[in-house]
């Protein structure tokens, strides 16, 4: 593969996302923020707000990994968060969002302890081309040299929640904290209410220098990631 060519599902390639963000929306398509339209993967800020506001002060310095053209950062700023820096692999979407072009894979331009929190909503999924279930995601979060405590929250998809409410507007978000086993996996008797649920990982990293806690958060399909604190939605 060369000359700017990319496979239709090569989610880890900048050329794929440049082409996706440049292409016009197709009627009846699955969305995905094509042609400059705003699009949020997995969960929106209103759904994630209770968890984020409970754990992240509005004065926190945020780094948004793989911002895409999601409204997450904008909604957080509107809600009072003071400093959110967006980076993405696609120069096209960065230009569309009128932000400075940065690559999520290159952190050399940030010094140590630059941010209090790092948010990832689907970026690891795209780069690894895998959903963020504990079996795949926890070993990565517990990689060598990382001393962190991980909490797992599980959220049904918006469609499932809407179906359960019989189409009525949702008054509160369904979010369940689930204790991981010693091996970092779901309890053997745990059954997902929604098979397509999203996994949210809240990682609190200890600072070896002074013992102060640092947070991290990540979301993937079935998760969310934060040096300081990381939150990952997959």
Q: What is the pTM of this model?
A: 0.63
pLDDT for position 123: 78
pLDDT tens sequence across 136-154: 888 888 775 667 788 999 9
Q: What domains lie within the chain, and their CATH numbers?
A: 15-22+40-205 (3.40.50)
- What are the 10-residue block averages of pLDDT along the chain, 234 residues in total? 50 85 55 60 91 92 87 90 87 69 63 84 78 84 76 92 83 88 92 92 68 50 46 70
Give the pLDDT of residue 128.
76
Please report the pLDDT score of residue 6 as a whole number: 46
The per-residue pLDDT for 230 is 64
User: What are the DSSP calls for the chain, one per residue?
Assistant: --TT---TT-TT-HHHHHHHHHSPPPTT---SSGGG-----S--HHHHHHHHHHHS-TT-EEEEET-TT-SHHHHHHHTT--EEEEE-S-HHHHHHTT-----TT--TTS-TT--SEEEEESHHHHHHTS---HHHHHHHHT-TT--EEEEEEEE--HHHHHHHTTTPPPSS---EEE---TTSS--TT---SSTTPEEEEEEEEE-TTT--EEEEEEEE---EE---EEEEE-
């Amino acid at each position: 593969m060369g000359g700017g060519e990319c496979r239709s599902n090569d989610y880890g390639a900048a050329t794929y996302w440049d082409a996706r963000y440049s292409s016009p929306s197709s009627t009846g398509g699955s969305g995905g923020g094509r042609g400059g339209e705003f699009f949020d993967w997995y969960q929106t800020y209103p759904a994630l707000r209770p968890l984020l506001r409970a754990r992240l002060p509005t004065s926190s310095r945020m780094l948004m990994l793989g911002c895409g053209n999601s409204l997450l950062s904008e909604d957080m700023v509107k809600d009072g968060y003071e400093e959110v820096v967006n980076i993405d692999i696609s120069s096209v979407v960065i230009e569309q969002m009128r932000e400075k072009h940065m690559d999520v894979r290159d952190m050399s331009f940030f010094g140590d302890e630059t941010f209090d929190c790092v948010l990832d909503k689907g970026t690891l999924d795209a780069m690894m081309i895998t959903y963020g279930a504990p079996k795949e995601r926890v070993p990565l979060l517990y990689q060598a040299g990382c001393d962190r405590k991980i909490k797992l929250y599980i959220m049904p998809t918006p469609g499932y929640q809407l179906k359960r409410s019989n189409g009525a507007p949702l008054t509160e978000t369904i979010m369940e904290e689930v204790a991981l086993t010693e091996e970092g996996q779901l309890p053997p008797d745990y059954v997902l209410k929604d098979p397509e649920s999203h996994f949210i990982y809240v990682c609190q990293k200890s600072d070896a220098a002074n013992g102060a806690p640092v947070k991290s958060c990540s979301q993937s399909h079935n998760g969310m990631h934060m040096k300081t604190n990381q939150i990952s939605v997959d």
